């Protein structure tokens, strides 16, 4: 049993492309448990969910956003050659739901993680346009164009901190709940298509990159999927939300405030 007392709770939301939708189920359980989240750090798909949560968007609207995201909505070809799709579509999506907010306008302090394309190092964004920061954090390399932010070319934060536990501790949290939506167990079936093979390879890489950060969490929420769900399976949103909810109930049932 975890008695939180005066602990300052931080929430770390990891990346995972479509699997980031599972964070919505996690947030539902956190809300039901009335756990007072005081800080949020988020990466990639987690940054999309984390930003609207930190802005105070209702859970119903966050779920609406998660169910609304489809490749048909974001597949807008850009003329920018280093990426197929303009990252502006992510920025526009965030603005549609919370407006063009500055970090200082958020209800919960937020840190968004991106990766510097030139140096490969992490870039922790805590000021400026929230929507632009999120678009940088979620700019999957080779698919979305890099985002220029404070003269840096930024891409997906998963390459630096896919599960930003240490980042949320630096914000001030001394009790961290981390939601890692990358499957930690092998798939049910061997991937058969090139896209699924790529997705499985990505999962292997991100699991290795997140190993140390996972150990730093006080509570680790790991959704398990009843079927193979790959990074680009946006159409399985409801199953992802359900998986996040089940995992959060299991991980948080012994946490009391």
Query: What residues are labeled active site?
Result: 44, 156
Burial class of residue 188, CB neighbours in 10 A (0-12, 13-18, 19+): exposed
Question: What's the Cα-to-Cα distance from 71 to each of 7, 68, 74, 186, rounded to whole Å?
Answer: 40, 10, 5, 26
Biggest alpha carbon–alpha carbon distance for the chain: 54
Nearest to 224 by CA among 256, 179, 192: 179
Q: Could you tell me which residues come within 8 angstroms of residue 184 by beta carbon, excluding any fewer than 6 positions away?
A: 207, 222
Is the alpha carbon torsion for 25, 31, 35, 41 positive or negative? positive
Question: What's the Cα-to-Cα distance from 236 to each of 178, 179, 189, 249, rounded to whole Å?
Answer: 22, 18, 17, 20
């Amino acid at each position: 049993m975890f008695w939180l007392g005066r602990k300052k709770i931080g929430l770390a939301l990891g990346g995972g492309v479509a699997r980031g939708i599972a964070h919505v189920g996690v947030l539902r359980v956190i809300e039901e448990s009335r756990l007072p989240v005081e800080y949020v750090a988020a990466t990639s798909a987690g940054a999309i969910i984390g930003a609207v949560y930190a802005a105070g968007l209702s859970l119903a609207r966050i779920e609406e956003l998660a169910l609304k995201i489809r490749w048909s909505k974001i597949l807008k070809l850009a003329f920018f050659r280093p990426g197929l799709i303009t990252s502006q579509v992510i920025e526009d999506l965030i603005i549609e739901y919370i407006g063009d907010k500055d970090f200082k306008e958020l209800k919960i302090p937020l840190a968004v993680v991106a990766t510097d394309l030139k140096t490969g190092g992490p870039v922790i964004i805590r000021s400026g346009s929230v929507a632009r920061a999120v678009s940088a954090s979620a700019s999957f390399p080779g698919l979305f164009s890099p985002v220029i932010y404070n003269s840096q070319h930024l891409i997906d934060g998963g390459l630096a901190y896919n599960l930003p536990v240490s980042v949320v501790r630096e914000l001030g949290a001394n009790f961290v709940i981390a939601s890692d939506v990358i499957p930690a167990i092998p798939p049910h079936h061997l991937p058969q298509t090139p896209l699924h093979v790529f997705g499985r390879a990505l999962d292997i890489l991100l699991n290795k990159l997140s190993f140390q950060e996972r150990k730093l969490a006080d509570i680790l929420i790991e959704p398990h999927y009843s079927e193979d769900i790959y990074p680009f399976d946006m159409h399985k949103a409801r199953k992802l939300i359900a998986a996040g909810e089940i995992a959060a109930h299991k991980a948080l049932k012994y946490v009391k405030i």
